[in-house]
Structure 1
Amino acid sequence: MFYKSGLFQRMDFLTIQVPDSMDLVAFLASNSAAQQRQAALEAVRVLLAKCAAHGLLHKDLNARNILLANTDHATLAYLLDVEDVVWMPHLDVDGVQWWPHQVEHARAANHARLARSLHKRVRKGDLALTAQQLQALISELKSHA
């Protein structure tokens, strides 16, 4: 919620605890079953697609800012550190989209940031992936949800 505070605006954030969750790096480093891995990557793809569809650009998107949680019915992905999110609105007036390039820009920028983060986690030894495995993972995350 935004509200005026002098010359500036302030914003409140809601903080919740998400049980049975781990960040994307911890998940990828774990020896999860293929079915769990596919569900988690699909959840990340859905999260990134929703961000792009709403013109949300995360200025510090990295693999540790994506939290994965299992529910009874699905794996969900949550976006963390939302104070670094910029909203790049696009308008749809009578079926005509104004600034539709904002959606593509947000999508490409978020994917590029996440890819850089995954490369960094491999370099630091947090993820034991070969160059081929890393590239396959990045390509898989870019595929449409």
Structure 2
Amino acid sequence: MPRFHLAKATLLSAGLALTLIGGPVVQAAQPKSAVVKSAASQKEEWLIPTGERWSSATETERRAYVLGILNLAMIEYQLTGPNPKHRTTVPHLVKALDGMTVPQIVETVDAYYKANPDKQQEPIIEVIWFQMVKPKVDQSKAK
């Protein structure tokens, strides 16, 4: 994929992911004071997204969140390779989720929050890591 299209897809995915976590929406037509006011009024919205936000999100927002994580991981993986110089979780994430589709990842997160209603405060990224990635990392270390 040409770099321009990859960057464009990444920016779109990041924007969609920000929608899920409640990022401020700024339009070019707004005066500067409105932009500042909008960002300040939504300051508390910049919390790490949890099961509560996941449960109220649309299917499109859920998929966008997962796609944003995957896009960022793939970009870093392409830049650093499978054996990066610095410590990172990305190769584990890429390897563990290889072959899974975005809807499958969404279904796994959905199933976790439904099976664990008492864990709605748990961040979505932790669910992805501890339910999908870490078990495969541990399994590969045991071999």
Q: With structure 1 as the length reference, what TM-score do the two structures score?
A: 0.29
Structure with the higher helix share, 1 or 2:
2
Structure with the higher strand share, 1 or 2:
1
